Amino acid sequence: MSAQKKRIRKAVLPVAGLGTRFLPATKAVPKEMLTVVDRPVVQHVVDEARAAGIEHFIFVTGRNKGVIEDHFDNQFELEATLSSRNKTKELEALLADLPGAGQTSFTRQQAPLGLGHAVWCARDIVGDEPFALLLPDMLHHGKTPCLKDMMDAYAERGGNYIAVSPVPEDQTHQYGIVGVEDAKAKVSGITQMIEKPPKGTAPSNLHITGRYILQPEIFGLLATQERGAGGEIQLTDSMIKLMAAQPFHAVTFDGEIYDTGSKIGFLMANVVYALDREDIGPQLKAELKRLL
């Protein structure tokens, strides 16, 4: 099996960001722990990765993020109490959410130098194998989990993958943007990439949605990556360099994406995920109708 087709076992989740767009809620609570319905945002993203077959979760954390580590650990007192009260269903649901023993790793990004730097902080834990990268702010709501679609494409062709989705032209400057060979295809070769292009210069309206499959050669490039857009070490800039040596494919995500780091995105995610739920969906729908 070629190196670029090795099985993907590990996922990196950068969770060091300060969450300044969500103050004061994020003063003491990490933004990744804010809940969409009754699950922390980061749990939704771990759910997506597990559904795609990921076995090991590498969290790149920072100061004040310890509660994320606690969330993905057993909580003995709580579990014992649920058990003694015969709350079997609740206990089973709680345990089912947990990655198994030895399936999580935590490392720290000591300074907020950018996404590229955060990913580079995971290099020793990832080692010399391809990996998935999921940006927890971005919730992907579709029929199949976004990363699963990407894993399927990867299993066929190997190489590197980036999930993309169209955004309105007036928003392209807020994202990484890719140009593709065939904008209508579900999976297409990437021809160009640019991080946060100035208004009016984007090569397309396809934005990078925060799901990636990357080959380990990215780490060597990140190690010497100079600062880019916003004065930060940008992952996109190293991916552009890797694209000269390895194939990159875009996978168009078929669904809605909610940026839970923005207030509207967070609120919309709560409404949409709640409407999906059998236990509260119908009642919420009726209440929303009444309200509007």
Q: Count Cβ atoms below 10 Å from residue 38 Cβ, excluding itself.
A: 10
138: contact with ligand G1P by CB under 6 A:
yes
Q: Using CB under 6 A, which of the segments 27-35, 96-104, 234-242, 277-285 binds ligand G1P?
A: 234-242
Q: Give the containing element (helix H, strand E) for 265.
A: helix 263-275
Q: Which of 57, 131, 154, 175 binds ligand G1P (CB under 6 A)?
A: 175
Q: Which of 147, 208, 218, 250 binds ligand G1P (CB under 6 A)?
A: 208
Nearest distance in Å: CB 162, ligand G1P: 9
The answer to whether the beta carbons of residues 274 and 37 sit under 8 Å apart is yes
Which residue of this chain has its Cβ atom nearest to ligand G1P in the complex?
A: 176
DSSP at 38: T
**Residues 185 to 204 in contact with ligand G1P, rule: CB under 6 A:** 195
210: contact with ligand G1P by CB under 6 A:
yes
Cα–Cα distances in angstroms (integers) from residue 5 to residues 87, 247, 253, 282, in the given order: 44, 12, 22, 44
115: contact with ligand G1P by CB under 6 A:
yes
Q: Count Cβ atoms below 10 Å from residue 14 Cβ, excluding itself.
A: 26
The answer to whether the beta carbons of residues 30 and 75 sit under 8 Å apart is no
Nearest distance in Å: CB 98, ligand G1P: 27
> 231: which 2 tokens?
């004065």
132: contact with ligand G1P by CB under 6 A:
no
- Using CB under 6 A, list all residues that contact ligand G1P: 115, 135, 137-138, 175-176, 195, 207-208, 210, 234-236
